[in-house]
Amino acid sequence: MSEEKKIPYKIYLSEEEMPREWYNVRADMTKKPAPLLNPGTGKPMTAEELGAVFCKELVDQELDNDTAYIPIPDEIRDFYKMYRPSPLVRAYCLEEKLQTPARIYYKFEGNNTSGSHKLNSAIAQAYYAKKQGLKGVTTETGAGQWGTALSMACAYLGLDCRVYMVKVSYEQKPFRREVMRTYGASVTPSPSELTSVGRKILAEHPGTTGSLGCAISEAVEDAVSHEGYRYVLGSVLNQVLLHQSVIGLETKIALDKYGIKPDMIIGCAGGGSNLGGLISPFMGEKLRGEADYDIVAVEPASCPSLTRGRYAYDYCDTGKVCPLAKMYTLGSGFIPSPNHAGGLRYHGMSPVLSELYDQGLMRAVSVEQTSVFEAAELFARVEGILPAPESSHAIRAAIDEALRCKETGEEKTIVFGLTGTGYFDMVAYEKYNNGEMQDYIPTDEDLKPGFDSLPAIG
Phi and psi at residue 67, to the nearest 5°: -80, 120
- x/- map, 404-423, a second copy, by CB under 8 A: -----------------x-x
Strand (E) or helix (H) holding 292: none
Q: Which stretch binds a second copy (CB under 8 A): 178-186, 211-219, 298-306, 446-454?
A: 178-186
CA 106 to chain centre: 16
Q: Which of 133, 206, 360, 384 binds a second copy (CB under 8 A)?
A: 384
Nearest distance, CB of residue 72 and a second copy, angstroms: 11
Query: Does 429 help bind a second copy (rule: CB under 8 A)?
Result: yes
Strand (E) or helix (H) holding 21: strand 21-23
Query: Does 257 help bind a second copy (rule: CB under 8 A)?
Result: no
Query: Does 27 help bind a second copy (rule: CB under 8 A)?
Result: no
Residue numbers 95-114 binding a second copy by CB under 8 A: 111-113
Nearest distance, CB of residue 147 and a second copy, angstroms: 14
Query: Does 182 help bind a second copy (rule: CB under 8 A)?
Result: yes
User: Which whole-number Å values give the CA distances from 99 to 28, 114, 266, 455, in the listed order?
Assistant: 39, 34, 20, 50
378 burial (CB, 10 Å; 0-12 / 13-18 / 19+) is: middle
How many chain residues bind a second copy (CB under 8 A)? 52
Query: Does 15 help bind a second copy (rule: CB under 8 A)?
Result: yes
Q: Which residues contact 355 (CB under 8 A, 6 or more apart)?
A: 29, 31, 32, 33, 34, 326
Phi and psi at residue 23, to the nearest 5°: -110, 130
Q: Which of 258, 433, 438, 458 binds a second copy (CB under 8 A)?
A: 433
Q: Which residues contact 12 (CB under 8 A, 6 or more apart)?
A: 85, 87
Query: Does 51 help bind a second copy (rule: CB under 8 A)?
Result: no
Q: Which stretch binds a second copy (CB under 8 A): 4-12, 127-135, 160-168, 334-342?
A: 4-12
Helix (H, G, I), strand (E, B) or coil at 4: coil
In 3D space, the residue among 88, 83, 89 whose CA is nearest the CA of residue 122 turns out to be 83
Helix (H, G, I), strand (E, B) or coil at 270: coil
Q: How many CB atoms lie within 10 A of CB 96?
A: 11
Facing residues of 102 across strands? Answer: none
Query: Does 78 help bind a second copy (rule: CB under 8 A)?
Result: yes
Query: Does 445 help bind a second copy (rule: CB under 8 A)?
Result: no
Query: Does 74 help bind a second copy (rule: CB under 8 A)?
Result: yes
- x/- map, 338-357, a second copy, by CB under 8 A: --------------------
Q: Which of 75, 160, 439, 446 binds a second copy (CB under 8 A)?
A: 75
- For a second copy, the binding residues (CB under 8 A) are 1-2, 4-5, 8-10, 12, 14-16, 74-75, 77-79, 81-83, 93, 111-113, 115, 152, 155-156, 174-175, 178-179, 181-184, 377, 380-386, 421, 423-424, 426-427, 429-430, 432-433
